[in-house]
Each structure stands twice: as structure tokens, then as C-alpha cells.
Amino acid sequence: MDPSLIVIVVVVAALAFDFTNGFHDTANAMATSIATGALKPKVAVGISAVLNLVGAFLSIEVAKTISGGIVDDTKVTPTVVFAGLVGAIIWNLLTWLFGLPSSSSHALFGGLIGATWIASGADAVHFTAVVEKILIPAVASPLVAGVVAVVGTFLVYRITASARQDVVGKTFKTAQALSASLVSLAHGTNDAQKTMGVITLTLIASGSLSAGSSPPIWVILCSGTAIALGTYLGGWRIIQTMGKKITEIQTPQGFAAETSAAVTILASSHLGFALSTTHVCSGGIIGSGVGRKLAEVRWGVAGRMALAWLFTLPAAAIVGAIAAEVAGSGSIGTVLVGVAGVVVAVVIYLWSRRNPVTASNVNGPAPEPAPAAA
């Protein structure tokens, strides 16, 4: 395949991943605000989309981590990056279908690691950087956010114990709208950069940019726009899981959960840690449930989420590796990988329409699975 053409294909695939990242991760910022009624569903995703776009321009440290830290950019080709993106997109869509708030970030990392390993060998993967920049933050970030949320929730209820509950509810609805907006801004500073990093890595691999280059302004703009559009679409299935299924959330809880998540994400973006905003926000929600007296945390749901987190990186890596093996056979293989990815995406979308979750029913009970076709 013509080198310039494959670069265009990779850029399109990267923006497609960014789009899925947007609707997959909308729940991170807005699920609790929608669940408590602090924001109407459509208003919430609109605010989140705008702030994701703004956040994309605030930092490039995470993009640098991806474009030059995870894999050896001298041993990566645009075709390999394309294969890794296919693995990430498919995992994102599968977990969205089942309403599982897994990590889009780890799906991307897994896809790239698997594709690079197959194409260039294990020495092309910087495993030390993977441990330091991905695996350690993956374990630590939800724990940190959870502990902060536990303390914050406990203090909020302690401080407002003697206040009128209608005043408390109204005040924290406003506060929660602000804290959710801060999470959206933080999400843009972290997750939009991951696509910037992938596109920059592709441009470096194709010789269009020199090694160590920062993302060009057009890459930042396109990445921010793609994630904002995906966010506005609204990942209602995952919003329902995070807003209603983990724990019943009151406005003070939502405020504590969102504030703890925002602080953790912004700190990691500044340090260049490409952590999962899903892990952080889920940890905050669980922590807020633990911190409120008599609140019930549904540990079965939390356990299923943890399993999805555990399998995300290796599952995406396997798909990315298979895609790299096929695409490595030449232009026909690359086309086959692209066609297969589109077919899988269409099948998943059509399957999702059997039990739609929308802005109108996101706060209601989860729909029952449709019976299997005879």
C-alpha cells in the first residue's frame, strides 16, 4: 500500500478510536450528575463535549508518553499502528455493548503492544515504561481516588448533618455540575492526548516528523474534535452502569466522587501518566458509596468491572497481534483487517439496537437482554 495512503488510513482509524473513546468514557464525567438529576442527560453530554475539546489543548505530556515511551518508534510502522487501533476499537465497542466501564486507554495500549510485539519482536516494547507509566497507575489511581472519595464523602455528610436537606440537595446539585465539568476538562487533558500520541507516532514512523516531536496543532485539533463528538453522542449504556448500578448516588456523594477523580486525573496529566479515567472515576464512585453511612455498594457489579479491567489490555493485545499478523502480509492483508473491523463494528451496533439505552431511559432500570434468535 502506498506509504502516504496508509498514513491517512491510520489517522482516520485513530480518530475513529478517539470517537469511541468519547462515547465510551462520557460516563466518567457525567454519570453521577445524570443519576442525581444535577444535570439533564443531553445538557450533561453537551457540556462534557465542549470541555473535552478545551482540555485537549491544555497539555501534551501524555501524548509524548505514547508517541515515544511505550514502544520503540524506530521499529513501528503505520501498518502496525493501524492493527493496534483495530484491536482497541473492537474492545471498546464490545465493552460498550455490555455496559462495562473498561479502560479505553488500556485497550489502546494493549492493541499497540500486541501489534508491535508480533511485527517487530518483544524488544520493540518498552516494558519498563509499560510498568511505570501504565500498570502501576492502573492499580494506584482507583485506590487513590477511592480513598479521597471516602474521606470527602464522610466529611461532606458530617459537615452538613445539621443543615436542611433541601438546601443541601440544591447546593450540591450546583456543586456537582461544577465538579462534573472539571472531570470533563481533566478527561480532555488525558484521553484526547492518547490519540494525539498515536497519530504523532505514525507520523514519526512514516518519516513525516522527526523522533521526539510534539503533536502538530492540526493533530491536537482533530483529536479534540473527535473525542468531543463521541462524548456528545453519549455512551448511555455505561452511564447507566456507573450512575445506577454500582451504588445509589446522592448529590454530596457525586460531588465527592467527581472532585476526587478530577484531582487525580489532572495530577497524572501533569506528570505524563497515561492512566485510565474509567478506573479513576469508578474508584471515586465506589469510594463515595463506602463513605456514606448506610449506602450500599454492589460489589458484584464492581467485581465484573474489575474483571473487564483485568482482561482489557491482554484482550486488545491479542486482537492487535492477530490484526498485525494479517496486515503484515501486504496491502490485501491491511484491507482485510480494515474490512473485518468495520464488519465487527456494524454487527455490534446492530446488536445494541435490540436493547437500546438512550437519554430518555438512562436513569431507569437496565433493559432485559433480548432473547437469542431461534
Residue bearing the bigger pLDDT, 117 or 168:
117
Supply the DSSP symbol for 135.
Answer: I
Q: Summarize the confidence of residues 326-352 as an average pLDDT.
A: 91
19 grid coordinates: 470517537
Kindly tell me if the per-residue pLDDT of 263 is higher than 90: no
Flag whether 18 is in a domain.
yes
Kindly tell me if the per-residue pLDDT of 333 is higher than 80: yes
Tally the C-alpha atoms within 13 A of residue 300's C-alpha that lie toward its C-beta: 1
pLDDT over 70 for what percent of the chain?
91
- The mean predicted confidence, pLDDT, of the chain is 84
Contact (Cβ atoms closer than 8 angstroms) between residue 195 and residue 226? yes
Contact (Cβ atoms closer than 8 angstroms) between residue 227 and residue 18? yes
Contact (Cβ atoms closer than 8 angstroms) between residue 112 and residue 77? no
**In the structure, what pLDDT confidence band is assigned to residue 367 with cuts at 50, 70 and 90?**
very low
Flag whether 358 is in a domain.
no
Residue bearing the bigger pLDDT, 165 or 347:
347
**In the structure, what pLDDT confidence band is assigned to residue 369 with cuts at 50, 70 and 90?**
very low
**Domain region containing 36:** 3-352
Distance CA 100, CA 93 (A): 10
201 grid coordinates: 507516532
Residue 155, helix vs strand vs coil: helix
Neighbouring-strand partners of residue 125: 71
Kindly tell me if the per-residue pLDDT of 322 is higher than 90: yes
Output the CA–CA distances (angstroms, integers) from residue 32 to 26, 174, 241, 280, in the order listed.
Answer: 11, 13, 10, 14
Largest interatomic CA distance in the chain: 70
pLDDT for position 225? 92
Tally the C-alpha atoms within 13 A of residue 104's C-alpha that lie toward its C-beta: 31
pLDDT for position 364? 65
Kindly tell me if the per-residue pLDDT of 52 is higher than 50: yes
Flag whether 301 is in a domain.
yes
Q: Summarize the confidence of residues 94-100 as an average pLDDT.
A: 88
User: In whole angstroms, what separates CA 355 from the centre of its chain?
Assistant: 23
Q: What are phi and psi of 149, to 5 degrees?
A: -65, -40
Full-model pTM: 0.82
Kindly tell me if the per-residue pLDDT of 321 is higher than 90: yes
> pLDDT for 266-311, tens place per residue?
777 677 666 677 888 888 888 888 888 766 788 888 888 888 888 9
Residue 311, helix vs strand vs coil: helix
When mean pLDDT is compared over 18-32, 107-121, 165-179, 294-308, the highest value belongs to: 107-121
Q: Summarize the confidence of residues 321-346 as an average pLDDT.
A: 92
Output the CA–CA distances (angstroms, integers) from residue 150 to 171, 181, 185, 266, 276, in the order listed.
Answer: 20, 21, 23, 19, 20
> pLDDT for 7-25, tens place per residue?
899 999 999 999 998 888 7
**Size (the chain), residues:** 374
Q: What is the amino acid identity at position 362?
A: V
Tally the C-alpha atoms within 13 A of residue 184's C-alpha that lie toward its C-beta: 32
Flag whether 364 is in a domain.
no
Flag whether 368 is in a domain.
no
How many domains is the chain partitioned into structurally? 1
Sorted by sequence, the CB contacts under 8 Å of residue 168 that are 6+ apart come out as: 160, 251, 252
Neighbouring-strand partners of residue 71: 125
Provide DSSP, 47-94.
HHHHHHHHHTTS--HHHHHHHHTSB-TTS--HHHHHHHHHHHHHHHHH
Q: Summarize the confidence of residues 306-323 as an average pLDDT.
A: 91
**In the structure, what pLDDT confidence band is assigned to residue 2 with cuts at 50, 70 and 90?**
low
Kindly tell me if the per-residue pLDDT of 374 is higher than 90: no
Q: Describe the chain by its helix, strand, coil percentages, rounded to 5.
A: 75, 0, 25
pLDDT for position 64? 65
Kindly tell me if the per-residue pLDDT of 237 is higher than 90: no
Flag whether 366 is in a domain.
no
List the one residue out of 249, 266, 198 whose CA is nearest residue 226: 198
**In the structure, what pLDDT confidence band is assigned to residue 180 with cuts at 50, 70 and 90?**
confident
Flag whether 372 is in a domain.
no
pLDDT for position 3? 63
> pLDDT for 192-211, tens place per residue?
777 888 888 888 878 888 87
Contact (Cβ atoms closer than 8 angstroms) between residue 275 and residue 268? yes
Distance CA 362, CA 100 (A): 15
Sorted by sequence, the CB contacts under 8 Å of residue 7 that are 6+ apart come out as: 78, 202, 203, 206, 208
